[in-house]
Amino acid sequence: MKKKIIAYNRVEQPVLDDLKEKYDVHFFENVDTKKDPAFLEHLKDAEGIIGLETPVDRDLLENAPNLKVVSNVSVGYNNLDIEEMNKRQIMATNTPGILTDTVADAVFSILTAAARRIPELDQFVKNGNWQTEAIGEEHYGTNIHHKTLGIIGMGRIGKAIAQRAHFGFDMAILYHSRSRKQDAEATFSAGYRELDELLQESDFVCMITPLTSETEEMLGFREFQLMKNSAIFVNGSRGKTIVEKDLIKALEDGEIAAAALDVFENEPVEPDNPLLKMKNVVTTPHIGSSTHETELAMSELAAKNLEAGINGENPPNLVNP
Ligand code: DGY
């Protein structure tokens, strides 16, 4: 009998097709894991789960007595209750490495878009306003090159952002991280700073740390107030690493100049979220790693992790050894 697997979005189709040949795969899209009767029924004898960002909590695990592995199609795994998984000896895996440059490209793109006001000016041209309005100060952006970029979280992606900023844009790099990163200091002349100092000195503040109990709500109103009034805040990590209502207030009060956000406290972001009405806020729908090439590579790696886990081997990217 084929082993049972639950898959949910986002597993790319060729990978899903390949898994279906070998396993009894049940695919769910935007499933309510607490209520969906078919999901709960299949969960009882599923040996593996593969997908993106669906919460795997105690309730789910209680209903999954045969589960061996949960394979996240993402580098972040804040959706997994690792402690509960450890108690039940269930493996958790992620997809690090292959998305590093793609996420760094995305973060740098929204940073650039906010600084040069690309979405706003795009609308200006497409709405025909250029026909009647002369270009002037009210359309200007702010320089990126030779400015100071403060990176919070100098892991793989942080370093890839620093590389773009330092070599491509002649930016000065500051960073705050759990530990000193000698390689980043040597390669990008990155300067370590305590958090408050980094916030005070940076022109751009980029959040790229994983969401953990230590980083949850790391930036609130006090921290936004410490930033320069001209600062642009960029979040490519997780929405919950900041206090979103405090970011809204900081933007409303002019404590900072603009924000570029790929992530939100709640996703999908509520349509009435005030951030969506602000001209100085650039948004994307948590899509940092989502290019055709990288999504496919992530699905392939996640499938490798899943298959190793359900077949009693060591998955290449185990996060709870
Ligand atoms: C990741 O890989 O963690 C991306 O943010 C997608 O969730």
Lowest mean pLDDT among 53-57, 113-117, 304-308: 53-57
Which atom of ligand 1 is least distant from the CA of 94? 2
Residue 321 inside a domain? The answer is no
- Does the structure show a pLDDT above 90 at 98? yes
Q: Give pTM, 2 decimals.
A: 0.95
Cβ 176 vs Cβ 152: under 8 Å: yes
**Could you tell me if 78 and 24 lie in one domain?**
yes
Q: How far apart are CA 116 and CA 107, in angstroms?
A: 14
Q: For this structure, is 217 an active site residue?
A: no
Q: Give the largest Cα separation in the chain, rounded.
A: 71
90 shares its domain with 131: no
- DSSP structure class, residue 295: H
Is 319 inside a domain boundary? no
Selecting among 133, 214, 267, 270, the annotated active-site residue is 267
| 17: in domain | yes
List 255, 286, 295, 300, catalytic entry: 286
Residues 200 and 268 in one domain: yes
What is the pLDDT of the chain when averaged over all its residues? 97
Identify whether 171 is part of a domain.
yes
What confidence score (pLDDT) does residue 321 get? 76
- The answer to whether residues 130 and 265 belong to one domain is yes
Return the CATH number at 93: 3.40.50.720
Considering the domain architecture, whether residues 134 and 146 belong to the same structural domain is answered as yes
301 inside domain = yes
- Residue 238 a catalytic site member: yes
Q: How confident is the model at residue 10 (pLDDT cuts 50, 70, 90)?
A: confident
109 and 180, same domain (yes or no): yes
Q: Does residue 76 fall inside a structural domain?
A: yes
State how far the Cα of 69 lies from the Cα of 61, in Å rounded to an integer.
Answer: 11
Nearest CA to ligand 1 atom 7: 74
Amino acid letter, 85: M
Strands 91-93 and 148-152: unpaired
CA–CA separation, 282 vs 112, rounded Å? 10
Which range of residues forms the domain containing residue 62? 4-98+293-310
Q: What is the mean pLDDT of residues 44-62?
A: 95
Nearest to residue 199, comparing CAs of 164, 150, 247, 245? 150
Number of domains in the chain: 2
Please say if 286 is a catalytic residue: yes
- pLDDT class of 142 with cuts at 50, 70, 90: very high
Report CA(96)–ligand 1 centroid distance (Å).
9
Quick one: 48 and 196 in the same domain?
no
Is the pLDDT score of 104 beyond 90? yes
Q: Is 252 found in the same domain as 114?
A: yes
Contact 141, 117 (CB under 8 A): yes
For the chain, how far is it from start to end, CA to CA, in angstroms?
Answer: 29
Task: For residue 4, list its beta bridge partners.
Answer: 24
237 CA: nearest ligand 1 atom: 5
Of 27-36, 97-106, 192-201, the range with the lowest mean pLDDT is: 27-36
Question: Tell me, what's the ipTM?
Answer: 0.92
Q: Is residue 304 part of a domain?
A: yes
The closest-lying atom of ligand 1 relative to the alpha carbon of residue 74 is 2
What one-letter code names the amino acid at 246?
Answer: D
Q: Specify whether 51 is located in the same domain as 111.
A: no
My answer on whether 107 and 94 are in the same domain is no
Q: Which residue among 12, 71, 74, 95 is best mutated to probe the pocket of ligand 1, counting the most ligand atoms within 8 A of its Cβ? A: 74
Phi and psi based region of residue 286 (left: phi greater than 0; alpha: psi -120 to 50; beta: remaining): left
Identify whether residues 267 and 193 lie together within a single domain. Answer: yes
Residues 74 and 181 in one domain: no
**Is 20 a residue whose pLDDT tops 90?**
yes
Q: According to the model, what pLDDT value does residue 53 have?
A: 83
Which residues sit with their C-beta closer than 6 Å to ligand 1? Answer: 52-53, 74-76, 99, 288-289
- Within its chain, how far is the Cα of 22 from the centroid? 31
Distance CA 117, CA 107 (A): 15
Return the bridge partners of 214, or none: none
Q: Which atom of ligand 1 lies at the shortest distance from residue 72's CA?
A: 2
Whose tokens are 């490209």? That residue is 105
How far out from the chain centre does Cα 220 lie?
Answer: 19
